Structure 1
Amino acid sequence: MNQNTEATSVKPLHSVPFLLLIGIFFVAANMRTSITSIGPLINDIRVELGLSNTWVGLLTTLPLFAFALISPLAPRWSRDIGTSKTIFYSLFVLLAGILIRPFGIGGLLFGTFIIGVAVAVFNVLMPSLVKERFPERIGLATGFYTVSMTSFAALAIGLSLPLAENLGSWKWSLVLWGVLAVCAMFAWRPQLKGMQKTVQIKQQKISRATMWKSPIVWAVTLFMGLQSFGFYVFITWGPEFLLSIGIPRTEAGWLMSIGQILGLPAYFAIPFFVDRSKDQRLITLMACLITIGGYIGLLSGSSSLIMIWLTLLNLGQSATLGLTFILFAKRTHNAVQAAQISGMAQSIGYLIAAIGPLLIGGIHDLTHTWTTPFLVLIGSALFMTVTGYLGSRDRYIESSFE
């Protein structure tokens, strides 16, 4: 076993669990809104800027490339300046990205990438923070911030188009989400004063060689990547698919939003079962099969049953998303290791996910139907089922070869 250690433990100067939860709630609220708000506005952006579907897909792909680039660096920044400060500074980066996006094609693309840089830090450090601050309630704490993340992501999907219509431009609709970033800055600020490094506890790190050779790490990484592949494809192209089967434009955005909300029960159910079991294989298998059922239903193209299929898909995607964050903590011994596996898994995983919106946009441009794109999604979900099953076994990284 690797004996590299690192002092990361922190002790609160005063007990502020409520303020910590409020801070986590608002940071999580910013983890998807600036990305999901793009989907309902794709048609407006495409028409005004004269972009193809492939180029529009880049708007969702750029943050994913940023996730892949920044994820391995976030644990190092956290160790150097502390988790609380890293999250706080990243909120400023997020706000900068939001404010840059209205300035032409260049601003839209660069701002979107900058947003991805900030969100990458949140993605990596949240599981580590949960592992450190809520070691006995990993599932419950993970469910708390994923509910916030998904709820606001759904809100962004539903409100983006009405905001654009009322404010007169898709640009103002995107900028308005900067208010949520400012709220998160104020909510997180108490954590900068409330923590200091006072206790030096040695926590075993995982060597790079062990990380790259571990079957458990690769299973979790591929599960995470394939889950994100499906999620970001549907967030990007779901509204366009709904339009193609006769759903009115405004209604399509709200159906996407309501579907996300209907998936929320999964975030409450998953922690209940996870905190009571060491092995998550059955839970993972069920979540993946529900996701596949949603895709198959949507592939049928029946608008009369659309709410059923959207509910199934969102329940499955919500459950698998919650499981990805939980597995980062469950497969490791401490917060340092959780940050390590989170960084590696999200770096490689989001490279996989980044292919999705571009690939599906390109396939749709070539075929002018949604049949082939959905067959690709079903195939990726089947592979996700296998990797999730393997990564959900009751094993830690170091024991993956035993």
Structure 2
Amino acid sequence: MNHPVRLQDPAPAPAAPAPRPRPRRRIRVAVLALSLLLAAFNLRIGVASVGPVLSDLRADLGLSEVVVSLLTTIPVIAFGVFAFLTPALSRRLGLHRLLAATMVALAAGIALRLQPGLAGLFAGTVVVGAAIAIANVLMPAAIKRDFSGHVGLMMGLYSTMLSVGAAVASGTTVPLLSRVGAWRPTLALWAIPALLAFLVLVPQLRQAPARDPRTHAATDAPPEAGEPSLRSLLHDPVALAVTALMGLQSMSYYAALTWVPTLFRDAGADAHTAGWMLSYSALIGMAGSLVTPALARRIRPVWLPVAVAAVLTAGAFAGLATAPTSAAYLWMTMLGLGQGASLSLSLTYIVQRSPDARHTGHVSMMAQGLGYLLAGLGPIGLGALYTATSGWTVPLLALIGLLALQLWAGVLASRERHVLANGG
């Protein structure tokens, strides 16, 4: 009697192993984010630390207001001039190696100000400006490349760290001066954070970046093939709007950064109070920088954050022109929120209006190169108006007028479209 063969059920396939957490990758990403943010912390210190000691510097060297304002104007102009070198340098060295090199150059430029006489002071200022210029252009491209899924968060943190650096430098330079006793070694102390940022970047430098066998360009930099030309960007309305916004908000920012402490001292405040008010404004600016990119994604109409930032800044300038000390904290709160929001929006639009890292690098170069060349007129122009009118009313009214142009550029830049969307 034949018995039916009993087929055994096939053995169940072994369950796929659960994906293991990748702690090493998370650590690498965290260190990379930390290194970028520490670098960002240094990108305003070299300029923000000068404003609180301008009066001491001017008295020591016997310089006019216009000449002294060059110490904060030269870096901003350098931000524009040296920005155009960044794409070629990044292809040669790689993104992260070039960023590390800018931190070393920044520390060297700050330390160079220790040299006696005007030559070392102004030469160091040029080196500081050149280092910051290149890092300024690198940062949005690095964020677009390394954190493409978290652009809003990283751009908010990046612009916040810019404000943190400015706040720390503005608020502690005068107390440091009282302990150190001279303005040159006090300014030179700000080389230390740049060296710290370099040390944190060292893990990114252990291996040389891979090279494209055809172009020999570093593969961690945006590729040259297919990159947009500056000429095409100069004819693109989106790129022009982003550039105008960057330039106009930077003009307002650096003019205030340079002269607000002097304004308060002219109104009767002591050096500590004048420096603290600028630092307080930068601290408030951190809030504006941090939350604005996230809010801008949700708020409609899209131009509303730009308008609110411009109105807050205009109100602050109007208050400083009419009653600087009677409501100083109100004016500086408005100034911090307005300028912090404007800065983060202008940087965020560089990334959001670019379809990829390649375009981001070139839009960043154009917006910050041409934008900072325009912004360099702010500190020296404000100083010239102050000298010509012997007061702050006319200079501040001029800044309010420029805010109308900033609002117009910001409305155009806020539109949700990409540069060269028509293939230009």
Report if TM-score (shorter chain) is over 0.5.
Answer: yes
Q: Is the 8 A contact 2:159 2:290 kept in 1?
A: no
DSSP 3-state at the match of 1:246: coil
CA distance in 2, matches of 1:301, 1:278: 34
Amino acid at match of 1:312: M
Larger radius of gyration: 2
CA offset digits 1:147-203 (Å, max 9, x no partner): 122112111011111111210100111010111111011111111237844897977
CA distance in 2, matches of 1:318, 1:161: 23
CA distance in 2, matches of 1:128, 1:163: 35
- The Cα shift of 1:124 comes to 0.4
CA distance in 2, matches of 1:264, 1:337: 28
CA distance in 1, matches of 2:361, 2:394: 37
CA distance in 1, matches of 2:106, 2:252: 24
- The 5 A counterparts of 1:58-69 are 58-69=70-81
- The 5 A counterparts of 1:74-223 are 74-103=86-115, 104-193=117-206, 196-197=209-210, 204-223=226-245
DSSP 3-state at the match of 2:43: coil
- The 5 A counterparts of 1:276-291 are 276=298, 280-291=302-313
Amino acid at match of 1:240: T
- The 5 A counterparts of 1:1-400 are 14-15=25-26, 16-103=28-115, 104-193=117-206, 196-197=209-210, 204-276=226-298, 280-399=302-421
Q: Is the 8 A contact 1:278 1:394 kept in 2?
A: no
DSSP 3-state at the match of 2:206: helix
Q: Is the 8 A contact 2:49 2:173 kept in 1?
A: yes
- The Cα shift of 1:275 comes to 4.6
Structure 1: gaps of 5 or more residues: 1-12
CA distance in 1, matches of 2:141, 2:275: 34
Q: Is the 8 A contact 1:20 1:188 kept in 2?
A: yes
- The Cα shift of 1:204 comes to 4.2
Q: Is the 8 A contact 1:140 1:275 kept in 2?
A: no
CA distance in 1, matches of 2:376, 2:241: 18
Structure 1 stretch 265-274 or stretch 136-145: which is displaced more? 265-274
Amino acid at match of 1:44: D
Structure 1 stretch 216-225 or stretch 294-303: which is displaced more? 294-303
Q: Is the 8 A contact 1:204 1:337 kept in 2?
A: no
- The Cα shift of 1:136 comes to 2.3
Q: Is the 8 A contact 2:255 2:379 kept in 1?
A: yes
Structure 1 residues 296 and 400: alpha-carbon distance in aligned structure 2, compared to 1, 3 A threshold? farther
Q: Is the 8 A contact 2:264 2:324 kept in 1?
A: no
CA distance in 1, matches of 2:318, 2:422: 35
- The Cα shift of 1:48 comes to 0.7
- The Cα shift of 1:80 comes to 2.1
DSSP 3-state at the match of 1:190: helix
User: What corresponds to 1:7 in structure 2?
Assistant: none
CA offset digits 1:268-315 (Å, max 9, x no partner): 211222455798422222222221121122222241211001100110
- The Cα shift of 1:14 comes to 4.9
Structure 1 residues 279 and 63: alpha-carbon distance in aligned structure 2, compared to 1, 3 A threshold? farther
DSSP 3-state at the match of 1:263: helix
CA distance in 1, matches of 2:174, 2:270: 12
CA distance in 2, matches of 1:299, 1:180: 35
CA offset digits 1:225-262 (Å, max 9, x no partner): 01010000011000011112222221111111112102
Normalised to the residue count of structure 1, the TM-score between the two structures is: 0.92
Amino acid at match of 1:112: T
Tell me the C-alpha RMSD between the 2 structures.
2.0
CA distance in 2, matches of 1:32, 1:394: 29
Q: Is the 8 A contact 2:161 2:286 kept in 1?
A: no
Amino acid at match of 2:199: F
Structure 1 stretch 270-279 or stretch 353-362: which is displaced more? 270-279
User: What corresponds to 1:3 in structure 2?
Assistant: none
Structure 1 stretch 13-22 or stretch 181-190: which is displaced more? 13-22
Q: Is the 8 A contact 2:80 2:371 kept in 1?
A: yes
Normalised to the residue count of structure 2, the TM-score between the two structures is: 0.88
Amino acid at match of 2:85: L
User: What corresponds to 2:17 in structure 1?
Assistant: none
Amino acid at match of 2:165: F
CA distance in 2, matches of 1:55, 1:162: 25
Structure 1 residues 372 and 400: alpha-carbon distance in aligned structure 2, compared to 1, 3 A threshold? farther
Structure 2: gaps of 5 or more residues: 1-23, 213-218
Q: Is the 8 A contact 1:279 1:393 kept in 2?
A: no
CA distance in 2, matches of 1:17, 1:95: 25
CA distance in 2, matches of 1:128, 1:247: 42
Count of residues in correspondence between the two structures: 390
* Identical-residue share of aligned pairs (%): 33
Structure 1 residues 333 and 185: alpha-carbon distance in aligned structure 2, compared to 1, 3 A threshold? same
